Amino acid sequence: MSHYELDARRMLCPMPVIKTQNFVATLKPGDTVEVFCTDHGALNDIPAWSRINGHEVLATRELDGGEVSITVRVGDSDD
């Protein structure tokens, strides 16, 4: 199990979702990734994307400077 950080700052949705989606596609089940965003819409969109695709949101955080982060644990692939 590995942990990663992903920079999606200054991107507007759905780009943070697309970046997360494409990065998660390279990870293994159980890996975790914390995605950093400045578009607060990501607080809704990345969890929604995670639920749809069988991943788990472990935490969402509001950080200094208006940033937010969403930590996702990669689910089992069913493809």
Footprint of other proteins on this chain (CB under 8 A)? 10, 12-15, 17-18, 21, 39-41, 44-45, 48-49, 51-53, 66
User: Which segments of 1-79 does DSSP mark as H helices, in order?
Assistant: 15-24, 42-52
Residue (48 or 63) nearer to other proteins, CB: 48
Cβ partners under 8 Å of residue 54, min gap 6: 75, 76, 78
Residue (3 or 27) nearer to other proteins, CB: 27
- Residue 3 CB, nearest approach to other proteins (Å): 24
Question: Which of 41, 74, 47 is closest to 59 using CA atoms?
Answer: 47
Is 37 a residue of the active site?
no
Question: Cis bond leading into 14, ω under 30°?
Answer: yes
Q: Which of 4, 9, 13, 41 is catalytic?
A: 13
Active site (catalytic) residues = 13
